[in-house]
Amino acid sequence: MLYFIILIGVLFVVFATAKLKLHPFLALILSSFFVGIASGMPLLDVVTNINSGFGSLMTSIGIVIVAGTMIGVILERSGAALRMAEVVLRIVGPKRPQLAMSIIGYIVSIPVFCDSAFIILSSLQKSLAKRAKVTVASMGVALATGLYATHVLVPPTPGPIAAAGNIGATDYLGTVILVGLIVAIPATFVGYLWAVKVASKIQVPLDQEETLDYEEVVKNFGEMPSTFKSFLPIVLPIILIGIGSIAALVGDPESTINMILRFLGSPIVALLLGVFAAFPLLPKLNEETLTGWIGDSLKDAAPILLITAAGGSFGTVIKETGVGDMLQQMDLGALATGSLFLLVPFIIAAALKTAQGSSTTALVITSTLVAPMLVTAGIEGALPLALVVMAIGAGAMTVSHVNDSFFWVVTQYSGMEVTQAYKAQTMATLLQGVTTIVFTIILWMIFV
């Protein structure tokens, strides 16, 4: 009955936004109340969980979204995004713009949360789409799936690190990173194929906007910003976050240098420094740019903040219904035989991911649950444990839908409706998860 109630809540969000044209913020809040009350949760606890879910997500990603949107507006209006689009297309080739976005996503999301990375790169995505004359949706899915692959599979992203630690693979973190980089390749590739074959047929309002062709845009901007200045607002936060992640793993945590590196590497500080790194791109430091451009970016960020936070409320209410405890109490030990053991963490993580939305939560809970099974199954050593992390990661990407903040970030920044996002983004993550677990099982059969 609990699973049925959660399913009804998810279907209501889809129906209300797609058919009734209700704003996603209200649809998510109403569905949160429905799931909480229908599951038998005390009424006051329903309110508490909705508030805490809303606030906790804003605590972790609120300023990140605002800062990322500021960077995006400056990159777009200064012409820097066009310069980046030109450089990437020159390297990869103008005939493969989706491949360019997939590769960028694969690299960027290794140290950066996929939500933050998508926000940072959204202007580049749209500029490339217009430059190459392909749909914004196809570019969005290519970027999102590239980001998603390394986000759930490759440390130093917190989810894979936590999973490796919980199953006793901390000493083999180098192996986990290497295996993750390899396993993320087919996951990224299948996302790229889905973007080219399916998402390219999806039209969004952004595709219909009247825009000047590339030469006229360049002429209007006059002299384009340099490549260094154009990439710095994106590259600087990525480097800082990466250094901060490494500092958190090695060195003396009480040392002054280590604390400074972790401070600079926190997403909020890194992205705010990215905003200041974008200031040299401003044509003038006056009211038009410092107030006007920044003010416009705040207006752009507002609906994304509210929808993303409402998704956090929905996920928290679902989590507090006890669905996670029910999954942990399931007796799956009988399946822990042979190479198909990898299906156990995959199924658990996929159920948790689909039910409550957070890939990181699915990685942490699943790894904690399967850790005792590894001893019984005789699984030990660098490569076997690394492949278990991959199996958990495969489940943690299956699937991204309305209770996942990343789903709403991709949807809003790409201009897709919910039904379009289900066809493009949700199905892509399903294929990524299945592809990843199949590839992981094949590696297990060959090398273990």
Q: What is the dihedral of CA 416, 418, 420, 426, to 10 degrees?
A: 110
Q: How far is 254 from 257, CA to CA, in rounded Å?
A: 9
Q: State the residue for tokens 């957070």.
A: 358
pLDDT for the residue 150: 93
Q: How far is 179 from 329, CA to CA, in rounded Å?
A: 30
Give long-range contacts, CB 8 A cutoff, 24+ apart: 84-92: 84/124, 84/127, 84/227, 84/230, 84/231, 84/234, 85/124, 85/127, 85/128, 85/131, 86/131, 87/227, 87/230, 87/231, 88/124, 88/128, 89/128, 89/131, 89/132
pLDDT for the residue 444: 94
Per residue in 158-191, pLDDT (tens digit) is: 788 888 888 888 778 778 888 999 999 999 999 9
H-helix segments, 279-404: 287, 294-320, 323-328, 343-356, 359-377, 382-396
Which residues does 349 contact at the CB level (< 8 Å), separation at least 6?
362, 363, 366, 391, 392, 393, 394, 395, 396, 398
Per residue in 98-133, pLDDT (tens digit) is: 998 998 888 888 767 788 788 878 877 887 888 788
**pLDDT higher at 19 or 277:** 277
Structural tokens at position 367: 């790894």
Per residue in 220-256, pLDDT (tens digit) is: 556 778 889 988 988 888 888 878 878 877 778 888 9
Q: For residue 253, report the phi and psi dihedrals to the nearest 5 degrees.
A: -65, -15
Q: How far is 75 from 277, CA to CA, in rounded Å?
A: 11
- Cis previous bond, 141, omega within 30: no
**Confidence bin at 276 (pLDDT 50/70/90):** very high
Structural tokens at position 232: 């710095």
Q: Which helix (H) or strand (E) holds 249?
A: helix 227-249
Structural tokens at position 391: 């199996």
Q: Is the pLDDT of residue 218 over 80?
A: no
**Confidence bin at 141 (pLDDT 50/70/90):** very high
**First-last CA distance in the chain:** 40
Tell me which residue of 32, 27, 62 sits closest to 47, measured CA to CA: 32
Structural tokens at position 210: 């009247």
Q: Is the pLDDT of residue 215 over 80?
A: no
Q: How far is 378 from 207, CA to CA, in rounded Å?
A: 54
pLDDT for the residue 193: 96
pLDDT for the residue 174: 76
Per residue in 283-325, pLDDT (tens digit) is: 888 888 888 989 988 987 888 788 778 877 887 887 788 765 6
The rounded radius of gyration (Å) of the Cα atoms in the chain is 22
pLDDT for the residue 50: 92
DSSP state of 423: I
Count the neighbouring beta carbons within 10 Å of the beta carbon of residue 201: 12
Which residues does 270 contact at the CB level (< 8 Å), separation at least 6?
236, 237, 238, 240, 241, 244, 264
Q: What's the Cα-to-Cα distance from 219 to each of 87, 176, 214, 400, rounded to whole Å?
A: 17, 48, 9, 41
**Mean pLDDT to the nearest integer, 249-265:** 87
Is the CB of residue 314 less than 8 Å from the CB of residue 36?
A: no
Q: How far is 94 from 170, CA to CA, in rounded Å?
A: 42
Q: State the angle between helix axes of 382-396 and 427-447 in degrees (0 to 180), rounded to the nearest 10.
A: 160
Q: For residue 168, report the phi and psi dihedrals to the nearest 5 degrees.
A: 85, 30
DSSP state of 225: P
pLDDT for the residue 243: 85
